[in-house]
Amino acid sequence: MESRNSALLDQLRGKLIVSCQARVGWPMYGTQIMAAFAQAAYEGGAAGIRATGADNIAAIKERVDLPIIGINKQFSDDYNVYITPTWESAREILEVGVEILALDATPRPRPGGERVEDILAKIRESYPDVLVMGEISTLDEARAVLPLGFDLISTTLAGYTEQSAGTTGAAKSLVRQICQITDTPVIAEGKVRCEQDAVDMLDAGALAVVVGTSITRPEVITSRYVEALSERSGR
């Protein structure tokens, strides 16, 4: 298993992973749209796909043969943790088959009082071949999860939690700081708006870079152009 995991990490090293996700109500919502985005990413040279939900992951697996970082977003008015918040949410997508399972690894409360270390232990026991990635938002959170033994750490939540509210762009400094305290591979994600941001993430020490919004949310990309042209007109 160790050699297989090493081969997977080598496949992702220095490469782009495209996040193909859409929430209910977004223009691109739908399993077949997510699968089409994944195929487009594959044809563009992406080395991996990040996706949420068993239905989307299954549809994507039918279209492309790329490693998948699987998550299961479940939103609740009672809890801020929504990225694979429970063991059951993890099991749902593990049953479909993913190479990497990612979950919120912050210390924030989650449904049913579950603890991230317990969810990780169950994954290790029932799905020992799957790599598990802990998603954090700050250096302190990264330092706190190191003893748990995650296979990878992701900066996905930087700028999206109360503890990281000051993060306004790609978290290059956070990637660099994490790489200085651990040899655990870091996947850089969050607020990567352009090609140079992605390059900078690798220069900071990331194993690979995940980009979502700037590739798979055309309504957001369109708004950026509209805003820029409007600012120009207002000069």
Q: Which amino acid makes up residue 75? A: F
The domain that holds 54 is classified in CATH as 3.20.20.70
pLDDT, tens only, 177-196:
999 999 999 999 999 999 99
Instruction: Give me 159's structure tokens.
Output: 């700028």
| pLDDT value at 1 more than 90 | no
Tokens of 40: 């487009």
Confidence of residue 168 (pLDDT cuts 50, 70, 90): confident
Percent of the chain with pLDDT over 90: 90
For 118-130, the DSSP string reads HHHHHHHHH-TTS
**Per-residue pLDDT for 37 more than 80?**
yes
| 10-29: pLDDT as tens digits | 999 999 999 999 999 999 99
CA dist., res. 195 & res. 190, Å (int) = 13
Pairing of strands 68-71, 48-52: parallel
Domain count, the chain: 1
Q: Per the structure block, which two tokens stand in for 114?
A: 């579950």
Task: Please provide the average confidence, as pLDDT, over all residues in the chain.
Answer: 95
CA atoms within 13 A on the CB side of 12: 26
The distance in angstroms from the start CA to the end CA of the chain is: 60
**Calpha distance 135→218 (Å, rounded):** 25
How far lies 47's CA from each of 43, 102, 111, in Å? 10, 17, 33
Q: What percent of the chain has pLDDT over 70?
A: 98
pLDDT for 174 = 96
∠ CA 96-97-102 to the nearest 5 degrees?
105
pLDDT exceeds cutoff 90 at 112: yes
The C-alpha atoms of residue 120 and residue 124 are separated, in whole angstroms, by 6
d(CA 13, CA 82): 27
Residue ranges making up the domain that contains 74: 2-233
> Of 170 and 47, which is predicted with more confidence?
47
**In the numeric block, which tokens belong to residue 113?**
């009082």
Give the largest CA-CA distance in the chain: 61
E strand or H helix at 51? strand 48-52
DSSP 56: H
